[in-house]
Amino acid sequence: MAIHHAAPAEVFDVGPLGAALENSKTKVLVKTDTLEMIRIVLPAGKQLPPHRVEGEITVQCLEGCMAFNAGGSEHELAAGQMLYLAGGETHALRGITDSSLLVTILLR
């Protein structure tokens, strides 16, 4: 089955999944030559090990709570909080509660 990515001007949801979070999977929402947007489902206790991408990224907590590690520091992100990182910076994530986040990557 072809994966559907949003087209320009197509409205898509990034609201809290609520009860549906438990059975939801990480999904690429947008993919163009210069921009990628991913909704990551991050259950409590799950770790995304250290990794990095070439371009800048923004990370927005959509629901729940997570620990974000970058530059030797840990930052807690709750729903409605976000941060950005310069390109090439190593970072890691861990779900504190069941959570989901929106990651926007600037491709170069």
Q: Please report, as ranges, the residues that interact with a copy of itself according to CB under 8 A.
A: 6, 8-16, 30, 32, 34-35, 37, 55-56, 58, 60, 68, 70-71, 73, 75-77, 79-86, 89, 104, 106
CB neighbours of residue 63 within 10 Å: 19
Q: How far is the CB of 41 from a copy of itself (least distance, A)?
A: 16
Please tell me the distance from the alpha carbon of residue 78 to that of residue 93, in angstroms, as a whole number.
13
CB neighbours of residue 100 within 10 Å: 26
The residue (of 17 and 98) whose beta carbon lies closer to a copy of itself is: 17
Q: How far is the CB of 31 from a copy of itself (least distance, A)?
A: 11
The residue (of 15 and 49) whose beta carbon lies closer to a copy of itself is: 15
Q: Which residue, among 59, 64, 60, has the nearest Cα to 91 in the 3D structure?
A: 59
Which residues have CB under 8 Å from 1's CB, separation 6+?
A: none
Q: How far is the CB of 66 from a copy of itself (least distance, A)?
A: 11
